[in-house]
Amino acid sequence: MIDVYFENLPVGHVIELGQHRVTREAIIEFATEFDPQPHHLDDEAANASILKGLSASGWHTCAIMMRMLCDGLVHRAASMGSPGIDEVRWMKPVRPDDLLTMRGEVKSARVSKSRPEMGIVDIEWSLFNEREQVALMRATGLYQVKNPEAA
Amino acid sequence: MYFEDVELGVTRQLGSYTFTEEDMIRFSLKYDPQPFHIDPVAAKNSFYGGIIASGWHVASVWMKLVIADGQRRAGNAETRKGGGVSPGFLNLRWIKPTRPGMTLHYDTTTHEKIELKSRPDLGLIRTLNLAVDDDGETVMSFTGQGFWPRRPKG
C-alpha cells in the first residue's frame, strides 16, 4: 500500500530502516563482477591490505543501502525516482556478518516549480553496523505530491 | 606514479559496456527492486515507459571498467603505487535513463589535487567521471575521489 507522499516527509522527519545482514558470499559475488580488488575477494590479501580484513566494495555498500531503502521506504512511497546523490562517504569498512541498520533525516523538502505534482526531498542517510557509523549518503528523492493544491 | 606525478585535465577512456535487459533485471532484483527496474509490464506503465537500469548498476559498471583498465596497464609507470582506497564520491547525477541494449562509454578526467594536512603521506585526487551514450549525451556523471601516496621525501 502506498502511504508515503511528499507531505509525509517534512524537514526534520526521521526514518529508521533495517536490518540487513552482510554475507561473505555477497561481498565476494559483488566484487567478482564489479570491483575485483584483492581486499574485496580474498582473506589473505585483505588481511595484508590497509583495510586489514575482507570488506565490501564501496559500490556494494551503496547497492545495499539502496536495497534497504527499497525494502523499508520506497515500496510504500509514491516514489518518482532520484536525480542523484550529493555525497557518499565510505567511513569504515563493511565486513562479513555485519548487521546493518540505516537512519535518514529529511534535510530539505520543496515542491518542484515546473512540476507541482512532484516534491523534491533531500535526505541524509547514515548506515550503522552494531558498533558505529560506517557510511553516509546525502540523496535527493522525488515523491509525488498527494494534494498539489494544498502543498 | 605518485600524487606529485598526477597531471590535471588528463582524460582516459575506460571502455564501453552494453546493458542487456536480462543483466539489468538481475542486478535490480538483488539491489533495487523497483517495478520500473524489474518488471517489463509495470515499467511500460510507469513514467519511464519501459525497463531502465538501476542507477547503481550504471555506477558499478564504472568501477568494473576502472579495474579492467588498471589491469591492462598493470606494471606501467603510470600505475598508482599501492591500493585504490577512496573516502567516497560527490555529485552523482543520473541524467538520462539507461534502457535495454544501450551501450555506455565511460571516461575519467583528473580534476583536482588536494594535499592532506592530517596525512602528509597521502594526497587526494578528484576526478570527473562520465558515462555517455552512442549519441554523445551524458547519462551519468560524478566526482570520484582516491587517495594517492606522496613521493617519499629525500
B129: CATH = 3.10.129.10
Does the residue B59 lie in any domain?
yes
Q: Does A63 have pLDDT greater than 70?
A: yes
- The residues of B whose Cβ lies within 8 A of any Cβ of A are 30-34, 36, 47-48, 54-56, 59-61, 63-64, 67, 82-95, 142
CB contact under 8 A, B34 and A79: yes
- The pLDDT value recorded for residue B79 is 53
Query: Per the CB < 8 Å rule, is A63 touching B60?
Result: yes
Contact B30 A67 (CB under 8 A): yes
The pLDDT of residue B75 is 61
pLDDT tens per residue across span B6-60: 999 999 999 999 999 999 999 999 999 999 999 999 999 988 999 999 999 999 9
pLDDT band for position A150 (cuts 50, 70, 90): confident
Among residues B144, B39, B134, which one has the least CA distance to residue B96? B134
Residue among B58, B64, B92, B130 with most chain A CBs within 10 A, to mutate: B92
pLDDT at B76 over 80: no
- Residue (of A49, A56, A66, A57) closest to A22 by Cα position: A56
Find all residues with CB under 8 Å of A136, minimum gap 6, and list them.
Answer: A87, A88, A89, A91, A124, A125, A126, A127, B88
pLDDT tens for residues A83-114? 999 999 999 999 999 999 999 999 999 999 99
- pLDDT for residue A51: 80
When mean pLDDT is compared across A41-55, B15-29, B64-78, B97-111, the lowest value belongs to: B64-78
pLDDT given at position B80: 55
Nearest by Cα to A148 from A108, A112, A122, A106: A112
Residues A37, B84: C-beta atoms closer than 8 Å: yes
A86 chain-B contacts, CB cut-off 8 A: 90-92
> Which domain CATH number covers A110?
3.10.129.10
The count of other CB atoms within 10 Å of the CB of residue B3 is 21
Q: Which of these ranges, A75-79, B13-17, B76-80, B102-106, has the smallest mean pLDDT?
A: B76-80
For cell 587526494, the residue is B124
pLDDT at res. A151: 58
The residue count for chain B: 154
CB-based contact B32 A66, cutoff 8 Å = yes
With CA atoms as reference, the chain A residue closest to B37 would be: A81
pLDDT, position B153 = 80
Domain assignment present for residue B137? The answer is yes
Burial class (CB in 10 A: 0-12, 13-18, 19+), A62: buried
Which residue would you say has higher pLDDT here, A70 or A147? A70
Residue B123 lies in a domain: yes
The answer to whether A89 contacts B64, with C-beta atoms less than 8 Å apart, is no
Is the separation of the CB atoms in A23 and A97 below 8 Å? yes
Write down the residue that cell numbers 562479513 correspond to.
A96
A149 is a domain residue: no
Give the pLDDT score at A118: 96
Q: For residue A22, tell me if it sits in a domain.
A: yes
Domain annotation covers residue B127: yes
- Residue A1 domain-assigned? no
Of the listed ranges B5-19, B72-86, B114-128, the least confidently predicted one is B72-86
**Which string of b and e fits A84-100 if b means at least 16 CB within 10 Å?**
bbbebbbbbbbbbebeb
Q: Are B32 and A70 a contacting pair at CB < 8 A?
A: yes
Contact A128, A103 (CB under 8 A): yes
User: How many structural domains are present in chain A?
Assistant: 1
Q: Which residues of A touch B83 (CB under 8 A)?
A: 37, 39, 49-50
Residue A18: predicted pLDDT: 83
What span, in angstroms and rounded, lies between the C-alpha atoms of A5 and A118? 10
- Alpha helix ranges (H) inside B32-137: 35-38, 40-45, 55-72
* Whether B59 and A86 lie within 8 Å, measured CB to CB: no
Min Cα–Cα distance to chain B from A31, Å: 9
Would the pLDDT of B81 be above 60? no
> Min CA distance, B9 vs chain A (Å)?
22
- Number of structural domains, chain B? 1
CA distance B25 to B19: 10
A35 and B67: CB-CB below 8 Å?
Answer: yes
- Three-state SS for A24-86 is HHHHHHHHHHHCCCHHHHCHHHHHHCCCCCCCCCHHHHHHHHHHHHHHHCHHHECECCCCEEE
Asked, for residue B154, whether it belongs to a domain, the answer is: no
pLDDT in tens, A67-88: 999 999 999 999 988 999 999 9
Band (A11; pLDDT cuts 50, 70, 90): very high
This complex has an ipTM of 0.94
Confirm whether A44 is domain-assigned.
yes
What distances in angstroms separate CA B109 from CA B62, B140, B141, B143, one per listed residue?
13, 14, 11, 10
Query: What is the pLDDT confidence band of residue B105, given thresholds at 50, 70 and 90?
Result: very high
Find, in chain A, the residue whose alpha carbon is nearest to that of B139.
A83
pLDDT band at B89 (very low <50, low <70, confident <90, very high): very high
Q: Which of B47, B54, B83 sits opposite A49 (nearest CB)?
A: B83
Q: Across all residues in chain A, what is the average pLDDT?
A: 95
Residues spanned by the domain of B44 = 3-149
Q: Residue A94: which domain range?
A: 6-144
Contact B20, B101 (CB under 8 A): yes
Query: How far is the C-alpha of B3 from the C-alpha of A93, rounded, in Å?
Result: 24
Q: Is residue B118 part of a domain?
A: yes
Cβ of A87 within 8 Å of Cβ of B32? The answer is no
Average pLDDT value over all residues in chain B: 92
